[in-house]
Structure formats: C-alpha cells, structure tokens
C-alpha cells in the first residue's frame, strides 16, 4: 500500500499528514496564528518564516505518530497553490526536497482539492458525483465533483467579493473579537438570540444567480448596525444573527445545487465548515431534502496536512503521473484539477477568483472600499535576529 507524505503551507498552518489507502496514519500541525493576531489578518512574510522553522519538526512528528520512517514514504504531495505566494513556496520547496532525496514522485496539488478529499479519511470513498461547498478563509465555491483524481472540477458558482472566512474574520473585528474571527463568533454566538436581528441574505433574490455568493452587503449591514447601536453592543445577538444569515444562504444554495443537478451527496468543507451553526443547519436541510451530508470533523475542516496527503493518496491510487520536479507554485490557481502539472516560467496571469487571503487588509472599517485602491500600509514586522535565517534566500 503506497504511503503518502502530505505537506500544507498555503496560509498560517504548517500541516503534515501521512495517509495510505484512504487512512490517516499520523499528522502534525503548527500554526503561526498568534503571531498574526495583532495585525488582524495573516502577514505573508511572518507565515512563510514560521513555515521554514516548523516544516522539518512537523514532518518528524507526523512520521513518529504514524510509527514509520522516511524509508516507508512512497510519494510526496505538497500544496502548489492557491495561497500566500511565499508560504506556498516554502512547502512546495520542502516537498520537492523530500521527494528528491527519498527518490519518490512529487505531486503538486490544489489546496481546495485537499479540502474536499480530506472527508475520505473520516467517511470513506467519495461517491461518483457530489456537490461540494468549499467555505474557507480564501474561497467560497459551489462545485460539481466527479472523480476528484481524474475529472475536471466544475464551478457552479463562486463568491462575487469576499470569501466566507474573510467575512467572519472582519465581522469579528467589528465586534472587538480576536483573530481568527470564525471560531470567536461561533463561541460567543452560543449565548445570543438568533432571531434578534434580521440581517440580509445576500444573493438569494429571485433574479440573483442561484449558486453565486456575496458577503459585502451583509458585512456592511453588520457595520451599520454596530455604528447605530446606542449603548453597549449586544455582541452575542449580532454574532448569532450574522452566523444564521451566512448559514441560511450557504445551505439554501447548496441544497438547490444538489436538487438541480440530481446529486444526492453534499460535501461541506473548508475552515468555515467547522462552524456549529452551518453544520447544524446543513444537517437539518439535507435530512429534509433526502441529501447525504458529509462534513469532516472540525479539526480536518481547517487547514491541515492530512488533507494534502489525502488528495495525494487519491492521485497515486488512480495511477496518475506525478508533477514535474520543476513544478512552480501558483498562488492564484483556480480549481480545475487536483494535480498541478504546469511549469511556471512567467508570472501567472490573474485568474478569477484569486485567493483573497493575499489581499486581506489588516483593518476593515465597514465602509465601502474606493474603486481605486491604495496599497495597504505595510505592518511593522517584529524584530528578528539576522542569524535566524542565515543561508535562507528571502
């Protein structure tokens, strides 16, 4: 049974997973989340530097947990995009180095295909066809999936503006909750009244595209509510009402997509799929519509190495040829195939939708952005002693 080492470094998590035949043998995760908290969003340079420090210990840790050694690895899978450019490059370079030194093939994989594949580790093989709702910090997409290793992925709809997780993070800021905002909103929402505030359900009108998402109007509605509220803010009520609006929109559109395409399995994945309200409403609506809902355990919803090993494992078992060793990272890659084969010689063309994490502003005020955007202020990086990175080319 081929054993796959998976490496994930697209954002602020350094994840390593080891998978064989759809079974997770061991994994390890380090995060630089705390280092970004004071900036209110991920600072790519800090994330990339943290990956450099964490990658080797995490690989060793995952191997120890799996009870195997380097000689047992048959293939390496690494995220080749999308994500923060420098962060992706660290993991891909590490993946290449491991593949080269171990003499095994390298699979450069799409991060979002990993989010979908990870559910195999919890719930077994995917059906022939499924609808996937991917809701993460950088993406929001409704996809029609066939064989994830072989078939092209069909985008039914994406977000017109923010990604779901981005909206959670920014609304949390407005409420004075810490970064990352999703888990913080989820926590405080438990104390709130979900019927307290009727926030809008974006893109759900009769003339709106049925599978497209938008969060800007909802974010702005929360900002206006906060501005106008006299006295102490009812944070729990706002948090739960916002969460309800998002969960309602997601689940309505996902169930409609399943019905329209005659698909009876919905895959709910990505960091925001860890949200308790989204999970509960999806369960309720899928049960009512006769749809089988598959949602990974919360720890596998947010970024991790197991998901990259899981998609690598699928590709290897399908007999797909590996990526070339000269594979380049593509920070803006749209999900069309799980495997990357392109060798980058020129800067990539901008493809929509781009990974929104690259453009996150440290501070969002709730006011509409001007159309001609000015560059965000560069945050001050913490002091780093120069000998920390001797020999590393930045």
> By CB under 5 A, what part of segment 118-147 binds Zn ion?
136
DSSP state of 338: S
Q: Which of 17, 40, 41, 137 binds ligand KG4 (CB under 6 A)?
A: 137
Residues with Cβ < 8 Å from 334, sequence gap 6 or more? 82, 155, 351, 352, 353
> By CB under 6 A, what part of segment 70-129 binds ligand KG4?
none
The entry of ligand KG4, Zn ion, none that residue 12 binds, CB within 5 to 8 Å by partner kind: none
Neighbours of 34 (CB within 10 A): 11
Q: Please choose, from the candidates 69, 30, 74, the residue with its C-alpha nearest in 3D space to the C-alpha of residue 49.
A: 30
C-beta of residue 24 within 8 angstroms of C-beta of residue 364: no
Ramachandran bin of 83, using left for φ above 0, alpha for ψ from -120 to 50, beta for the remaining angles = left
Minimum distance from residue 335 beta carbon to ligand KG4 (Å)? 12
Neighbours of 97 (CB within 10 A): 14
By beta-carbon proximity to ligand KG4, the closer residue of 105 and 271 is 271
By beta-carbon proximity to Zn ion, the closer residue of 136 and 251 is 136
Residue 158, interface with ligand KG4 (CB under 6 A)?
A: no
Residue 162, interface with Zn ion (CB under 5 A)?
A: no
CA 83 to CA 144: how far, in whole Å?
22
Residue 47, interface with ligand KG4 (CB under 6 A)?
A: no
C-beta of residue 339 within 8 angstroms of C-beta of residue 316: no
The entry of ligand KG4, Zn ion, none that residue 241 binds, CB within 5 to 8 Å by partner kind: none
Structure tokens at 36: 């970004």
Q: Count the site residues for Zn ion by CB under 5 A.
A: 2
Name the segment binding ligand KG4 (CB under 6 A); options: 51-59, 164-172, 230-238, 252-260: 164-172
- H helix or E strand, kind and range, residue 55: helix 44-66
Minimum distance from residue 61 beta carbon to ligand KG4 (Å)? 19
Name the segment binding ligand KG4 (CB under 6 A); options: 223-231, 248-256, 269-277, 369-377: 269-277
CA 237 to CA 297: how far, in whole Å?
26
**DSSP per-residue string spanning 118-176:** THHHHH-SPPSSEEEEEE-SS-EEEEEES-TTTSPPEEEEEBSS--HHHHHHHHHHHTT
Residues β-bridged to residue 78:
7, 108
Q: Please choose, from the candidates 120, 184, 139, the residue with its C-alpha nearest in 3D space to the C-alpha of residue 10.
A: 139
Residue 181, interface with ligand KG4 (CB under 6 A)?
A: yes
Residue 303, interface with Zn ion (CB under 5 A)?
A: yes
Residue 271, interface with ligand KG4 (CB under 6 A)?
A: yes
C-beta of residue 91 within 8 angstroms of C-beta of residue 7: yes
The entry of Zn ion, ligand KG4, none that residue 234 binds, CB within 5 to 8 Å by partner kind: none
Name the segment binding ligand KG4 (CB under 6 A); options: 31-39, 116-124, 267-275, 378-386: 267-275
DSSP state of 54: H
Q: Which of 158, 162, 186, 330 binds ligand KG4 (CB under 6 A)?
A: 186
Q: Which of 50, 88, 274, 327 binds ligand KG4 (CB under 6 A)?
A: 274
Minimum distance from residue 138 beta carbon to Zn ion (Å)? 7
> By CB under 6 A, what part of segment 329-368 binds ligand KG4?
357
Minimum distance from residue 163 beta carbon to ligand KG4 (Å)? 7
Name the segment binding ligand KG4 (CB under 6 A); options: 25-33, 181-189, 254-262, 313-321: 181-189
Where along the sequence are the contacts to ligand KG4 (CB under 6 A)? 11, 136-138, 165, 168-169, 180-183, 186, 270-272, 274-275, 302-303, 357
Where along the sequence are the contacts to Zn ion (CB under 5 A)? 136, 303
């Amino acid at each position: 049974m081929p054993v796959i080492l998976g490496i994930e470094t697209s954002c602020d998590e350094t994840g390593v997973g080891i998978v064989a035949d759809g079974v997770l043998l061991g994994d390890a995760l380090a995060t630089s989340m705390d280092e970004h908290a004071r900036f209110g969003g991920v600072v790519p340079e800090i994330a990339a530097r943290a990956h450099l420090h964490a990658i080797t210990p995490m690989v060793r840790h995952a191997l120890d947990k799996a009870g195997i050694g380097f000689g047992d690895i048959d293939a390496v899978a690494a995220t080749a995009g999308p994500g923060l450019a420098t962060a992706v490059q660290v993991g891909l370079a590490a993946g290449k180095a491991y593949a080269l030194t171990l003499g095994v093939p390298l699979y450069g994989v799409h991060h979002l295909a990993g989010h979908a594949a990870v559910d195999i580790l919890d719930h077994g093989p995917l059906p022939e066809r499924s609808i996937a709702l991917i809701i993460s910090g950088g993406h929001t997409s409704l996809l029609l999936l066939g064989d994830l290793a072989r078939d092209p992925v069909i985008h039914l709809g994406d977000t017109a503006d923010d990604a779901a997780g981005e909206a959670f993070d920014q609304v949390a800021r407005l409420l004075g909750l810490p970064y990352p905002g999703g888990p913080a909103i989820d926590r405080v929402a438990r104390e709130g009244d979900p019927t307290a505030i009727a926030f809008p359900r974006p893109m759900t009108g009769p003339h709106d595209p049925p599978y497209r998402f938008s969060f800007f109007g909802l974010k702005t509605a929360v900002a206006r509510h906060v501005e106008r509220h006299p006295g102490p803010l009812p944070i729990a009520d706002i948090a739960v009402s916002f969460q309800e609006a998002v969960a309602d929109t997601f689940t309505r559109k996902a169930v409609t997509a399943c019905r329209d395409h005659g698909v009876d399995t919905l895959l709910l994945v990505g960091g925001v799929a860890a949200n308790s309200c989204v999970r509960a409403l999806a369960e309720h609506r899928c049960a009512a519509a006769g749809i089988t809902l598959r949602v990974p355990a919360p720890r596998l919803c947010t970024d991790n190495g197991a998901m990259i090993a899981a998609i690598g494992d699928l590709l290897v078992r399908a007999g797909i040829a590996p990526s070339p060793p000269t594979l380049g990272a593509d920070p803006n890659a749209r999900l069309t195939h799980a495997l990357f084969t392109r060798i980058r010689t020129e800067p990539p063309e901008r493809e929509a939708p781009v990974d929104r994490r690259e453009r996150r502003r440290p501070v969002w005020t709730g006011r509409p952005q001007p159309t001609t955007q000015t560059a965000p202020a560069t945050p001050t990086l913490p002091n780093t002693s120069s000998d920390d990175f001797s020999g590393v080319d930045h």
